[in-house]
Amino acid sequence: MIFPIRLNPPASFSLLIVLNVSLLLSSLSAQNVRPTLTIAAASDLAPLEPLFREAFPLGDLTFTFSSSGVLARQIENGAPFDLFLSANEDFMRQLVKKNKVIQEEIQVYAIGRIGLWAKSGAIRQITDLDQPAVRVIAVANPQLAPYGQAAMAALYKTKLLDKVKDKLVYGENIRQTQQFAETGNADCAILSWSLIYNKGGYLIPDNLHPAIRQVAAPIRQKGSKNTKLADAFINFLVSPVGRSIFAQHGFNLLPAAPSLRR
């Protein structure tokens, strides 16, 4: 008796092959996946994000931008960030007290600057803020945003604060503050220079406010696996490439230093 030859395997056998191939491909793909660094970053760094992504070779970058105060609070509450880029040292010190970062690992990466911007282009210097035509001035919330603190310091030092305090409206961070001015809800805004250096405006002299020393540190969350990658990104920020990016966007720089992290 001649038995017919089955040319098609059972469906269960075909499914098993498909599953095995899929598992093999997934395994091979996983071996080549680039690590992802999750970064909590002050809002003044938002314009630099594409350049950071393009220039950093060791992993993919996921950014969350907000005011430094809001981000510090999220980190205190266990938000799963690998790295914090704060716009000043005060909020980082709070995280040191909460054992979220280590004091010795904090690195200054740039010095921020503030500027005055108006959509109309008519407000060109800080003394213009006292004019009757200027009815609303946007600044970032000084309790949450270092650039808001610097704006208030500049107004105080120029003896304008008492004259314009009733004109002030507060954004949660400097990007929201910028939106107030762009949409016409404010006549002008005092912002990070990095947001407006190429849009016209007035650079407020550095001697009118305390230095905005921007700092980075890895977050010490339980189970974090990206500490080395966070260290590598901090090294990148203070490298010649990183320093060039900051300089192009209107930041002041500290004297060049060798990489401090391993």
pLDDT tens digits, residue range 35-90? 999 999 999 999 999 999 999 999 999 999 999 999 999 999 999 999 999 999 99
Q: At a CB cut-off of 8 Å and minimum separation 6, what does 233 contact?
A: 37, 39, 56, 58, 59, 61, 83, 216
- Lowest mean pLDDT: which of 6-15, 43-52, 61-70, 158-167? 6-15
Residue that the structure tokens 């919330």 belong to: 141
Q: Is 26 a domain residue?
A: no
DSSP letter for 119, please: T
- End-to-end, the C-alpha distance of the chain in Å comes to 76
Find the farthest-apart pair of alpha carbons in the chain and give their distance in angstroms, rounded. Answer: 109
Q: Is 82 a domain residue?
A: yes
Cα torsion angle, 131, 144, 191, 211, sign:
positive
Q: What percent of the chain has pLDDT over 70?
A: 84
Q: Is 171 a domain residue?
A: yes
Residues 83 and 159 in one domain: no
Residues 134 and 191 in one domain: yes
Q: At a CB cut-off of 8 Å and minimum separation 6, what does 55 contact?
A: 236, 241, 242, 245
For residue 144, give the nearest of 93, 86, 103, 227 by alpha carbon. 86
Residue 243 DSSP SS3: helix
- Lowest mean pLDDT: which of 32-36, 123-127, 137-141? 32-36
pLDDT at 201: 87
Q: At a CB cut-off of 8 Å and minimum separation 6, what does 76 contact?
A: 94, 95, 98, 100
Residues 139 and 188 in one domain: yes
Mean pLDDT of 161-184: 96
Q: Is 70 a domain residue?
A: yes
Q: Is 152 a domain residue?
A: yes
Q: Residue 156 belongs to what domain range?
A: 114-208
In the chain, the number of structural domains is 2
Residues 46 and 157 in one domain: no
Mean pLDDT of 245-259: 83
- Asked if residue 8 has pLDDT above 90, the reply is no
Beta carbons of 43 and 192 less than 8 angstroms apart:
yes
* Residue 128: band (very low, low, confident or very high) from pLDDT cuts 50, 70, 90: very high
Residue 155 structure tokens: 């107004």
Residues 79 and 201 in one domain: no
Residues 223 and 191 in one domain: no
Q: Is 261 a domain residue?
A: no
Residues 185 and 137 in one domain: yes
Q: Is 230 a domain residue?
A: yes
pLDDT at 34: 82
Beta carbons of 115 and 252 less than 8 angstroms apart:
no
Q: At a CB cut-off of 8 Å and minimum separation 6, what does 54 contact?
A: none
Residues 98 and 168 in one domain: no
* Residue 6: band (very low, low, confident or very high) from pLDDT cuts 50, 70, 90: very low
pLDDT at 225: 73
pLDDT at 7: 41
Q: What percent of the chain has pLDDT over 90?
A: 77
- Asked if residue 108 has pLDDT above 60, the reply is yes
Q: What is the pTM of this model?
A: 0.83
Q: Is 27 a domain residue?
A: no
* Residue 32: band (very low, low, confident or very high) from pLDDT cuts 50, 70, 90: low
Give the integer Cα–Cα distance in Å for 59 and 57: 6
| 189-205 pLDDT per residue, tens | 999 999 999 998 899 99
- Lowest mean pLDDT: which of 57-61, 143-147, 257-261? 257-261
Cα torsion angle, 236, 240, 242, 246, sign:
positive
CATH of the domain at 166: 3.40.190.10
Residues 219 and 240 in one domain: yes
Give the integer Cα–Cα distance in Å for 217 and 261: 11
Ordered DSSP codes for 159-194: T-HHHHGGGEEEESSHHHHHHHHHTTSSSEEEEEHH
